[in-house]
């Protein structure tokens, strides 16, 4: 049964699972997936896969040039879904920045949120006592605060529409001791802990899913 569930069963139709089940909404309205950090690596792959699977995509990142490039790349597939952009640098985000995101989210029907944006130490690896307080704070801003507030913005809307999924990108480094990655690993542990806790909180709601994804080393620009 374990092998079947994890390796052999057909994939879930995410678009169907996360369609709006609120009877007051138009069933033909497009379902949107919000992806943070979507211009490279895992985030870019997620945006492409979700677009192919029928979601309209809201790209949230800091570089307007890269966001536009990804948007054009998706639109060139000539599918029926839409693509929108929100430009924000989460390492410098103020409270009003999240109000702006909230206003944008109110204009679309969000069925899926991928909290992917993250950062590591600028020099890759370093002992804790050799890492500046400024850089530690920046990592916490991007890895913890962003995921926390984006989830807080989206989850109530998903409960109201009676379906929705949140995918939080944690890491295997957050599951065990990770010397020279202490701050980064601690933020990923936070993400995993919050995700599993929220999954329990919403376990009584039929079409609400909250997942913590804990990949190992992945060859991306960040790593």
Catalytic residues, by residue number, are 184, 188
In this structure, the number of other CB atoms found within 10 A of the CB of residue 118 comes to 25
Look-up: residue for tokens 């430009």?
Answer: 87
Element (H, E) at 200: helix 182-201
CA angle 148, 33, 149 (to 5 degrees): 15
Distance separating alpha carbons of residues 80 and 67, to the nearest angstrom: 19
User: What is the torsion angle, in degrees rounded to the nearest 10, for the CA atoms of residue 76, residue 19, residue 209 and residue 89?
Assistant: 40
Residue with tokens 């890492």: 131
Q: Please, what sign has the CA dihedral across residues 77, 81, 86, 90?
A: negative
What one-character-per-residue DSSP string does 127-191 give? -GGGS-HHHHHHHHIIIIIHHHHHHHHHHHHHHHHT-EEEEEE--GGGSS--TT-HHHHHHHHHH
């Amino acid at each position: 049964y374990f092998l079947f569930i994890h390796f052999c069963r057909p994939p879930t139709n995410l678009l169907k699972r996360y369609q709006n089940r609120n009877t007051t909404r138009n069933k033909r309205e497009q379902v949107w997936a919000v992806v943070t950090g979507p211009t490279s690596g895992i985030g870019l792959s997620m945006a492409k896969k979700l677009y192919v699977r029928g979601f309209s995509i809201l790209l949230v990142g800091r570089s307007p040039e890269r966001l536009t490039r990804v948007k054009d790349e998706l639109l060139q597939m000539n599918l029926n879904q839409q693509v929108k952009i929100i430009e924000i640098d989460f390492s410098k985000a103020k409270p009003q920045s999240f109000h702006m995101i909230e206003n944008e989210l109110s204009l679309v029907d969000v069925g899926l949120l991928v909290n992917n944006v993250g950062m590591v130490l600028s020099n890759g690896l370093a002992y804790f006592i050799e890492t500046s307080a400024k850089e530690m704070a920046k990592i916490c801003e991007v890895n913890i605060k962003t995921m926390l507030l984006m989830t807080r913005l989206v989850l109530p809307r998903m409960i109201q529409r009676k379906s929705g999924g949140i995918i939080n990108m944690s890491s295997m480094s957050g599951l065990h001791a990770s010397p020279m990655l202490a701050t980064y690993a601690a933020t990923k542990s936070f993400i995993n802990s919050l995700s599993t806790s929220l999954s329990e909180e919403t376990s009584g709601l039929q079409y609400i899913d909250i997942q913590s994804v804990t990949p190992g080393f992945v060859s991306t620009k960040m790593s």
